[in-house]
Chains A and B, each alone.
Chain A
């Protein structure tokens, strides 16, 4: 089944948005969407890792024995995470500090391992790169949407921050007097859960007529799901893999 390059790319942004439809990568989504700035930074870092690891895994997919594929994928991903980590530390110090612990934790972001398992290990490098780019854009877009909501309600300003040192002293677009003062709770932990719930409910509301399969929790996309036994989709996927060989 040959899919067009465009649909491989847009698949990740809309139809299978990793955060809102597949419910993957929830930890970084909640933790780094306190403002558009950190959300965008996290999204771009994860996208870089996702694209690179997808390409490499797709290139070496014929040489990896099936039994040890998950450790192999993790090693490749961890390598790229380390590279991104060192690059950010060297050139974009403020972002490195803002992301903190969540930067090394990109390694265990289920989006990346999930795409390696579900897509890159079965498709060519070009398609895998596009898939990674699409998924990464979907992830970044969602982070920015949530960041916008949380930043506007939480601080009363929009696009504030010094943008990784590029726009120092930029105070953002103040909206304070316009409607409400900042509600700090939205930038804190409960606000993250609230914003996520609202955005996801909105997606459900707007897609309900289109008879899309609404997934519950995305165990199907998780690499370890074969052992979990919660979703029969996984076993289908595994069988598909056998057939291909």
Chain B
């Protein structure tokens, strides 16, 4: 039972305390780029969470059972990014063939995920932190959910920022989004120290 409790804590702390876009600077590009409306935020959030868990489930055993024992751990970066790229391609093909409905809503986001640093980031950081496989998977799930959560809040705020006529001219467009992100991350700092 205590182990389940620990896993729940991992998820909550990844969503609130170590939120990837707002507390760790990972996945900022899609966080800024795909957060203009709630629908695409949802699609991107689901796709990222799914690929993160899948990628961790594949890269963790490869690092621990293949790269480490034969002493080529330094190939981590090359191997991981290729695995992620291939994985994303396969998921896309699978969805296209078997679940066209889901492909329609997620399809356009999948290719963007290959270059999403949050996915590679979570794969590498669970190895660096020497987590066990189950903990790693929950960390990945928590990171994905946290990304989704942040994206969703951001999309909600930005959908009310559509009328930019009251914003000073130089701040229109990207800068006001960054200011919004700054205020959001200020709020998320309040969760710091919730655990331990």
Contact = CB atoms under 8 A, between A and B. Distances in A.
Query: Do A and B share a complex?
Result: yes
B171 A228 contact: no
B9 interface: no
A235 interface: no
A102 to B, nearest CB: 8
B78 A222 contact: no
Q: Describe A's contact surface by its main secondary structure.
A: helix
A214 B169 CA distance: 12
A82, A105, A190 — most chain B CB neighbours (10 Å):
A190
B182 A193 contact: yes
Q: Residue among A75, A86, A208, A217 with the most chain B CB within 10 A?
A: A217
Interface in B22-67: 22-29, 32-33
Given A26-B29, A193-B185, A228-B112, A81 B174 contact: no
Interface in B116-169: 116-117, 120-121, 124-125, 128, 168-169
Interface in A204-221: 204-205, 208, 214, 216-217, 219
Contacts of B188: 189
Given A75-B82, A197-B175, A208-B170, 6 more contacts: A23-B32, A74-B85, A107-B81, A204-B171, A204-B173, A214-B173
Interface of A: 23-24, 26-27, 30-31, 70-71, 74-75, 78-79, 81-82, 85-86, 101, 104-105, 107-110, 113, 185, 188-194, 196-198, 200-202, 204-205, 208, 214, 216-217, 219, 222-224, 226-230
